[in-house]
């Protein structure tokens, strides 16, 4: 998994982190077409992405910035960082890029809003 900037993420950020633009830009995962096939995932459906830190629900989409099988990308933001390992190798820099994840079908699970993804993890979400 790598987590990077995209122009839509930048525009969404400036539109406001609670905006629809931001939600659409960042609550996604991009994968190679072969990975869609082998994992049995339909384009534009929700998936559950799990790392050593935890899980997050995002929408699986195609991208024209070609990856290769086994390499996936979530744009930087609260959904990506929900699963980024904090280990810094004493450099201060967490593992934003290059950590292993599991991706599985989660078609019926909803994607949380930007605020809720964070609040939920902090135990601040009132159910």
Partner 1 sequence: MPKVVTDVTCPFCGTLCDDLEVTVSDDNKKILSVRNACAIGAEKFNHTSLPGRVTRPRMRQPDGTFKEISYDEAIDWTANMLVKSKKTLMYGWASTSCQAMSVGHEIAEKVGGVVDNCATVCHGSSLIAIQDVGIPSCTLGEVKNRADRVVFWGCNPAHAHPRHMSRYSIFPRGFFTVKGHKGRKIYCVDCRYTDTARCADEFIQVQQGHDYELLNAFRTAARGEALPDVIGGVPKEKIYQVVEELKGGRFGVIFFGMGLTHTLGRNHNIDIAISFTRDMNDWMKFSIIAMRGHWNVTGSGQVLSWQYGFPYAVDLSRRTKARYQTGETTSVDLLVRNEVEACFNIATDPGAHFPIDAVVSMSKKPTVTVDPHINMSTEISDIHIPVAMVGVETGGCAYRMDNVPIETRKVVDAPDGMLTDVELLTKINARVDQLMGAQ
User: Which residues would be at the binding site for partner 1 (CB under 8 A)?
Assistant: 2, 4-7, 10-11, 13-18, 53-54, 64-68, 71, 73, 76-78, 81-86, 88-98, 114-115, 118-119, 121-124, 126
- 8 is written with which tokens? 């839509």
Name the residue among 70, 85, 10, 1 with its Cα closest to residue 34.
Answer: 70
Minimum separation from the CB atom of position 33 to partner 1 (A): 13
CB contact set of 3 (below 8 Å; sequence gap of 6+):
73, 74, 75, 76, 80, 81, 84, 96, 97
Minimum separation from the CB atom of position 11 to partner 1 (A): 5
Name the residue among 75, 81, 37 with its Cα closest to residue 59.
Answer: 75
Minimum separation from the CB atom of position 17 to partner 1 (A): 4
Taking the least distance from each CB to partner 1, the nearer of 9 and 46 is 9
Sheet containing 55-61: give its strands across: 28-30, 55-61, 45-50, 102-105
Minimum separation from the CB atom of position 35 to partner 1 (A): 13
């Amino acid at each position: 998994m790598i987590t990077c900037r995209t122009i839509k993420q930048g525009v969404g950020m400036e539109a406001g982190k609670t905006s629809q633009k931001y939600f659409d830009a960042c609550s996604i995962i991009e994968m190679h077409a072969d990975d869609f096939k082998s994992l049995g995932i339909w384009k534009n459906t929700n998936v559950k992405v799990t790392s050593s830190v935890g899980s997050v629900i995002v929408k699986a989409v195609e991208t024209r910035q070609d990856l290769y099988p086994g390499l996936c990308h979530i744009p930087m933001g609260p959904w990506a960082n929900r699963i980024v390992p904090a280990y810094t190798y004493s450099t201060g820099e967490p593992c934003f890029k290059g950590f292993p994840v599991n991706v599985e079908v989660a078609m019926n699970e909803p994607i949380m809003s930007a605020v809720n993804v964070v609040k939920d993890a902090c135990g601040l979400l009132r159910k």
